[in-house]
Amino acid sequence: MGKTVNVNVHHITRVEGHGNIVVNATDGKIEKVEWQVPEAPRFFEAMVRGRSYEDIQTIVSRICGICSITHSLASTKAVENAMGFEVSEQSDEIRILMHYSEQMQSHILHVGYLVAPDLFGMPSVVPLVAKAPDAVKAIIRMHRLANEWSDLIAGRTTHPVTLKPGGLTKIPTAKELRGLQDRLKENLPVLKAIAEVVLSVADNLPDFTRETEYISLKQDDPRTYTFYHGEIASTDYDGTVAINDWKTVANEYVVDQSTAKWTKWHRDSYAVGALARFNNNAELLSPTAKAVAKMFGLEKGNCSPFMNNVAQLVECVHVVETSIEMIDKLLTKGLKDEKVKVSPKAGKAGGCVEAPRGILFHEYEFDRKGNCVGADICIPTNQNHANIQKDFEKMVPEILDEGEDAVRQKLEMLVRSYDPCISCSTHMLDVEFVK
Amino acid sequence: MCQCCAEKKDIYLPELATVMDAKAMNVTERYLRLAMDDGPFDFVPGQFVEVSVAGIGEAPITISSSPTQNGGFELVVRKVGNVTKAIHNLNKGDKLGIRGPLGDGMYPVDEAKGKNVVFICGGIGLVPQRSFVNYVLDNRDDYGEVTILQGTKEYDQRLFTDEVAAWDKRDDVQMLETIDLPDKRWKSNVGVVTKLIPMIKSELKSAVVLVCGPPVMYKFVLMSLEEHEVPHENIFLNLERKMKCGVGKCGHCQINSTYTCMDGPVFRYSDLATMPEAI
Amino acid sequence: MSVKKIAKKDFVEFVETLIRKERVFGVQAKGDRFDFAPLESAQDLRLDYDVTLQPPKKFFQPPAEVLMTFEVGGGYQSQYDDEPFVLLGVHPYDMVAINQMDELFSQDNYDTHYMTRRNNATIVACDVAKPSENVFASSMGTAVVKSGYDVLLTDIGDSYVCEAATEKGEKLMAAAKKAVPADDAALKSREAVWAKNKKGLNRHELKCDPAYLPKLLAKAYKHPVWEERAKTCFSCGSCNQVCPTCYCFNVQDDVNWDMKTGKRERAWDGCLLDGFTKVAGEHEFRKQRADRFRHRIYRKGMYVPEKIGGQIACVGCGRCVAACLPDIANPVAVYNRLIDDLGIG
Amino acid sequence: MSKPKIAIFDFACCEGCQLQIVNLEEELLDLLGGADVVEWREAMSEKCDEYDIAIIEGSITRLEDEERLKLIRSRAKILIALGACATIGGINKLKNNFDDLDEVKKCVYGKDANKPHLATQPTKAVDEVVQVDAYVHGCPIDRKEFTYIMRCLLMGKEPEIPEYPVCVECKAKGNPCLWEYGQVCLGPIIRAGCGARCPSNGFRCFGCRGYIDNPNVDAAKDVIDKFGLNIDDLKTKMVLFGSRQEPTIHG
Ligand SMILES: Cc1cc2nc3c(=O)[nH]c(=O)nc-3n(C[C@H](O)[C@H](O)[C@H](O)COP(=O)(O)OP(=O)(O)OC[C@H]3O[C@@H](n4cnc5c(N)ncnc54)[C@H](O)[C@@H]3O)c2cc1C
Ligand code: SF4
Ligand code: SF4
Ligand code: SF4
């Protein structure tokens, strides 16, 4: 006799945005397994229409509060590509520092505040304060560092204001950078300590794998574990694809059960995110980051979505270690006050960076005056929706016997491990409520 | 701290006082009797204090009692915003901060001696005037005839009704009261306070006239006093302005070149000639 | 007190030793402008600046400061910023403004918060080496200054003449080992700088003696200029904020999370701002932009002078001229307009 | 006295303002010391229908959301609008500029635009649907201001939110004015309280806190002329967070 399981998680908690999980199984027979997104649609592609190239970043940053720096960078790069603006090496490096701060912000938030309660069997981080005070303190400390880091370089923790097409509106002083570097050095051990804590409860991550195609950026010259430069790579494909050809990768398609646009390339679905970056670039991680990966036995080719949480931790270590080096380089070269002056041109191009939760594509077309006449945005969580569905389909039969609570718990954990940013993904989609 | 500052007191620092008595007078006004925790409290009618409620802020409030009355000093506070709302929550035994007395523009207690005194009050304007009314009544022989005019918008907003009734009963006081929008309970004068001016029995021309009420009232009262040929030197107005410091620094209460907190709040009308912003 | 001369390179060295001993603030470049900021290296000091973005008043009356802390029901405790500091590079017009503020904060009711900071300061003034785009100190009689500073520096080419005017100044300059008594030639050069500045800091020329301004304003209250100019006033208060002689403030309480302890703070305010005179019940005494605009001009040209013995409370720094986006705040433009219409005398 | 119960709800938005609450770090624990957070989907799994203070993030774009908001209002003693989406409609109001909402949908959904579940209506700020007791302005909110407002409310005090424009804080920070560097900064007409964060970082104020009560748009026109710009340069900036709101610029 198989089990009868009815899971209906209306608005899964501890994720960014609104998503529903529906599983119906009667006597062991699965009738319905669905991942749904009922978030209110927000129409960003329409909202940027007619707006000046200067204001695109300000608008699209609001797609998502958690990856606002990423959206800002991707759109700014797209504008720069479309209009052929050069960006100085210094600006590029400072932007990467800015981008790293968001990786760290988002990853710590995700692993520390949203996932850790699952690992400790708690409903939220609030009761966790009593159970694991030191761990929570360490997490808060790292989160604060990430925020101050972003405050310093992006001007705010959310919705950056130091970016402009062609460069930056303000750069940190040498003294500020040195201060940041000191803090990063000081806190690298704290990060390792957090990894130890996660390792101690890592057994609570469900044991599940499914062969998956992983897609991320890859940078060849110089070979770098990249979040910002490079072209599109896949674990199923040897070469790389140019950013402007992103649509040949994403292949957005519509399915019956959902109006959310899904994506696929070589298989029915693919995954993006920290694990995808790891699977494409692991050998390029910083030494301590490699050591942390090893601690968890995380190796290239890993196909367990739950290991995305671990890959995020590994990346935290990587961005901190790499930033320490980058600041040295910046300071040795000396900071220059660059005057950026650009004027708009007509053009169309894509811009791409890695959001904490995976590869992000922006594409815009501008008229002569620099006003936007067309836009297309493809968000990482969107690219993961199909993969989440496919994971559901493989996982539910494997765990159905464990009962309703376990199914609900594990599916919630699965969704969370993708670190979905649903408010992002619904910039253009809407799904019916299934009651 | 440097020597010269260490010797001076901090002009912004309140001292603690205790609520000796507190009661609601009506929905919006609350009566408080206070005593300073340290030392005596000497003031002249017309002066005010800055009342502090820790965490909420400060508000200037005129002393409503007369210095001739013993046992602390009295305030009446209308609930209009943050500080006044917080003051309304205070009860007997509670502590609050006081700075003052403040204001060098006081009632002309000496100048009015031997003269007829006329008080014209609108609404809560009775509160500051009451200090001088009681001062005059406690030194009744020093002053000429005493007239009190009080106008109130609605019956339920009348203040100090017992005291007003007591004044009314006295032979040596002419007490006139009116209500703008009366109900059945009111059997006396109806309309704005200026209506009462022609009913004053004592000679106005030589009287000292003290006016306090809402900003709109002044224009009409002054017009009427003009008709009765009261010299501007004999008219005193109690002016209200926004205040943040009460000690002549913050700039909020400035009326042209004059600081309400320093030179007022009681002004001689003739002095306002150079202050077009006053009325 | 002594007048010395010090070569510029020795002066840099002197400043370097000063920085190691004391809390020093000096004029430094901020992008393509200048401002006072904590001085970390003598190389950063820019005594050749034109004008600072903010006037030095912020050292005595900071944009926001804690006046006191309190405990609910437990009384109030004054808080003071009580650390000595050196202020390097105050221009004469700003020094005149500080002198006025000293008077205003100490007369009648002595403000211990302002005065503690003031008494903690050692001010090194310096004569203007490069006039700013909007300065009109010459018109206001503030191009050179004779009092208030502890040391006055004058750039005479390859060296500075430095005059110590107070004990504090003498003590400060004692550390300048390489300074020598100023010779006649140096003093002459200094006279020349003064003579030049007395005329030359005049990008806007006031058409009357500043002493006449109160009389001019006495007959200008109903003049149309207030309406005309205020029509495009943002009520942004920038003219107040950047003015070295504006000192109006707001006071606000804030509690800590324990809801029992807290602080009372004061912060810059401005008479041009909407709501400056608004009382509970929504009554506002200077509701019209024109009323507020006029008030500022009167305060500078008449009200404050009445309070402090005649000295006009506009020192001609020109900051408001630069700060006012719609170009209406320039006091000289207003005064000259009134003179054109109403004449002198 | 028992601690007041706080519930946090999100509507159409980027959730960046909730993130600022998380970003309070240790101070969040202080807040939790003074109040119980009983529902907060982004950060915790607990849910609750009883609360004293409801914090609303996001703007209202669908009928069903209006109903949900009204229900929340009916349960809460104090309702706070959190962030620009809630206080003024935020960036979401950009879509209201299209006279025809179908056009908006077509632009995003193409031929699928007419499917019934894509029903959308003009974006509304929270106070266009229910009464709001306190506003926390900004996109995102300023953490310092948020905690100040929360402390005020917990104390029963009405917070003092600046009536003056951003220039006041910009000048207090000692910033050179961005207009002189060719930027169309909305500082003079936008409500302060952010500490002039954007201008201090060299980025024009784009108006996320909404207009001051009495903005002088005529003056803005004058300034546009002075800097040799076109009125459209100003209009296009004002539209970002000020779509279909007073004041509108004519001409
Ligand atoms: C000299 C003088 C005497 C006064 N005497 C009395 C009195 O006896 N009884 C009484 O009920 N009221 C009196 N008032 C008015 C009283 O001061 C205000 O009602 C009170 O300040 C409002 O403060 P709030 O915090 O409740 O209101 P909010 O609106 O929250 O005010 C915030 C702040 O603005 C200032 N402010 C607002 N309104 C006024 C105002 N009308 N006058 C001065 N400052 C204001 C205060 O600094 C106040 O703290 C007097 C005012 C003055 C100037
Ligand atoms: S009024 Fe203007 S010019 Fe005069 S001192 Fe003030 S800021 Fe300077
Ligand atoms: S005069 Fe100019 S600077 Fe002053 S408030 Fe008006 S617009 Fe702002
Ligand atoms: S930069 Fe913007 S906020 Fe700052 S003063 Fe200029 S206009 Fe005002």
Please, where are the H alpha helices in chain B? Answer: 3-6, 82-88, 126-138, 161-169, 215-227, 260-263
Look at chain A and report how many structural domains it folds into. 1
CA distance A51 to C330: 36
Q: Which residue, B102, B128, B155, sits at the end of a domain?
A: B102
- Average pLDDT per consecutive 10 residues, chain B (279 residues; last block may be shorter): 77 95 93 91 94 95 92 93 94 93 91 93 93 94 93 92 92 92 88 88 90 90 90 92 93 91 91 85
D13, D108, D197 member nearest A423 (Cβ): D13
Look at chain B and report how many structural domains it folds into. 2
Q: Give all strands (DSSP E) within chain B, no chain letters.
A: 15-24, 29-36, 48-53, 57-62, 73-78, 95-102, 117-122, 146-152, 173-179, 189-190, 208-212, 235-238, 254-255, 258-259, 266-268
CA distance C31 to A190: 37
Quote the domain boundaries for residue B243: 117-278
Is some CB atom of chain B closer than 8 A to the CB atom of D34?
no
- Tell me the helices (H) and strands (E) count for chain A, helix number first: 15, 14
Q: Is A touching B (3+ C-beta pairs, cut-off 8 A)?
A: no
Q: What is the DSSP letter of C301?
A: I
The pLDDT assigned to D42 comes to: 65
In a domain, A153, yes or no: yes
Dist. CA D188 → ligand 4 center (Å):
6
B80, B254, B262 member nearest C281 (Cβ): B80
Domain of A260: which CATH number?
A: 1.10.645.10
Question: For residue C325, which ligand has an atom nearest its CA?
Answer: 3
Query: Which residues make beta-bridge pairs with B147?
Result: B118, B174
B147: left (phi > 0), else alpha (psi -120 to 50), else beta? Answer: beta
Instruction: Show which residues on chain C lie within 8 Å of chain D, measured between beta carbons.
Output: 30-33, 35, 53-54, 58, 63-64, 231-238, 241-242, 252, 254-255, 257, 259, 267-268, 270, 273-275, 289, 323, 325-327
D37/chain A closest Cα distance in angstroms: 9
- The whole-angstrom distance between residue A284's C-alpha and the CA centroid of its chain comes to 19
- The sign one gets for the Cα dihedral D119, D125, D126, D130 is negative
Question: Are B199 and B258 part of one and the same domain?
Answer: yes
Domain of B239: which CATH number?
A: 3.40.50.80
CA distance A225 to A242: 17
Q: Which residue, B55, B76, B102, sits at the end of a domain?
A: B102
Q: What is the three-class DSSP state of C201? A: coil
Question: Are B138 and B215 part of one and the same domain?
Answer: yes
C273:D175 CB<8 A: no
Substitution target in C109, C250, C303 with the highest count of B β-carbons within 10 Å is C109
pLDDT for A12 beyond 70: no
Indicate the pLDDT class of residue A1, thresholds 50, 70 and 90.
Answer: very low
Substitution target in D24, D144, D167 with the highest count of C β-carbons within 10 Å is D167
A170:D201 CB<8 A: yes
Q: What mean pLDDT value characterizes chain C?
A: 94
Indicate the pLDDT class of residue A429, thresholds 50, 70 and 90.
Answer: very low
Per residue in D24-72, pLDDT (tens digit) is 888 888 888 888 888 877 666 666 777 899 999 999 988 888 999 999 9
In a domain, A161, yes or no: yes
Q: What is the DSSP letter of D94?
A: G
User: Chain D residue closest to B89 (CA)?
Assistant: D156
Question: Are B121 and B98 part of one and the same domain?
Answer: no
- List the one residue out of A310, A308, A311, A262 whose CA is nearest residue A418: A308
CA distance D248 to D251: 10
CA distance A432 to A412: 20
Question: Are B36 and B138 part of one and the same domain?
Answer: no
Look-up: residue for tokens 């849910």?
D47
In a domain, A3, yes or no: no
CA distance A397 to A404: 12
Dist. CA C218 → ligand 2 center (Å):
20
Residues of chain C with pLDDT under 50: none
Q: What is the three-class DSSP state of B211? A: strand
Residue nearest to atom 7 of ligand 2 (CA): C243
Is some CB atom of chain D closer than 8 A to the CB atom of B81?
yes
Radius of gyration of chain B (CA): 19
In a domain, A346, yes or no: yes
D168:C252 CB<8 A: no
pTM confidence score: 0.91
Q: Which amino acid is at D79?
A: L
* Contact in structure between D95 and D123 (CB atoms under 8 Å): yes
A55:D92 CB<8 A: no
H or E element at residue C106 = helix C92-106
Q: What is the mean pLDDT of residues D145-161?
A: 93
CA distance A282 to A225: 7
3-state secondary structure string across B110-137: CCCCCCCEEEEEEHHHHHHHHHHHHHHH
Is some CB atom of chain C closer than 8 A to the CB atom of B153?
no
The pLDDT assigned to D71 comes to: 92
The pLDDT assigned to A408 comes to: 84
The pLDDT assigned to A402 comes to: 87
Query: What backbone torsions phi and psi does residue B65 show, to the nearest 5 degrees?
Result: -90, 170
Q: Which amino acid is at C78?
A: S
A248/chain D closest Cα distance in angstroms: 19
Question: Are B125 and B23 part of one and the same domain?
Answer: no
In a domain, B111, yes or no: no
What is A237-305 written as a DSSP string? EEEEE-GGGHHHHH--EEETTEEEEE--SSSS-EE-SHHHHHHHHGGGS-HHHHHHHHHTT--TT---T
Q: What is the mean pLDDT of residues A341-358?
A: 95
Question: Are B129 and B96 part of one and the same domain?
Answer: no
In a domain, B109, yes or no: no
The pLDDT assigned to D244 comes to: 64
Query: Which residues make beta-bridge pairs with A359?
Result: A354
Domains of chain C, residue spans: 3-200, 210-342
CA distance B268 to C11: 59
The pLDDT assigned to B200 comes to: 87
CA distance B95 to C12: 56
**Contacting partners of chain C (3+ CB pairs under 8 A):** B, D
Question: Are B157 and B58 part of one and the same domain?
Answer: no
Question: Are B31 and B164 part of one and the same domain?
Answer: no
In a domain, B29, yes or no: yes
ipTM higher than threshold 0.85 = yes
H or E element at residue A121 = none
Give the residue, D117 or D226, on which the prediction is more confident.
D226
pLDDT for D121 beyond 90: no
CA distance D10 to B275: 54
In a domain, A208, yes or no: yes
Q: What is the mean pLDDT of residues A360-380?
A: 92
Query: What backbone torsions phi and psi does residue A305 show, to the nearest 5 degrees?
Result: -55, -30
- The token duo for B90 is 């205070």
Per residue in C9-59, pLDDT (tens digit) is 999 999 999 999 999 999 999 989 999 999 999 999 999 999 999 999 999
Distances from the Cα of B246 to the Cα of C68, C267, D63, angstroms: 16, 16, 52
pLDDT for D105 beyond 80: no
Cβ within 8 Å of residue C224, ≥6 positions away = none
Q: Which amino acid is at D174?
A: G
CA distance B58 to B250: 13
Q: Which amino acid is at D205?
A: C
The pLDDT assigned to A430 comes to: 27
pLDDT for A14 beyond 80: no
Q: Which residue, B102, B136, B166, sits at the end of a domain?
A: B102
Mutate to test the pocket of ligand 1, among B242, B252, B259 (most ligand atoms within 8 A of CB): B242
Question: Are B154 and B243 part of one and the same domain?
Answer: yes
CA distance D29 to C48: 50
* Contact in structure between C5 and C151 (CB atoms under 8 Å): no
Quote the domain boundaries for residue A60: 44-425
Domain of B87: which CATH number?
A: 2.40.30.10
A143/chain D closest Cα distance in angstroms: 7
- List the one residue out of A372, A349, A280, A287 whose CA is nearest residue A321: A287
Q: What mean pLDDT value characterizes chain A?
A: 88
* Contact in structure between C250 and C266 (CB atoms under 8 Å): yes
Q: What is the mean pLDDT of residues A385-391?
A: 91
- CA triplet C141, C145, C147: central angle to 5 degrees? 130
Question: Are B70 and B123 part of one and the same domain?
Answer: no
Query: Which domains are delineated in chain D?
Result: 5-155 (3.40.50.700), 166-242 (no CATH)
Q: What is the three-class DSSP state of A192? A: helix
Q: Other C-beta atoms within 10 Å of B23: how many?
A: 10
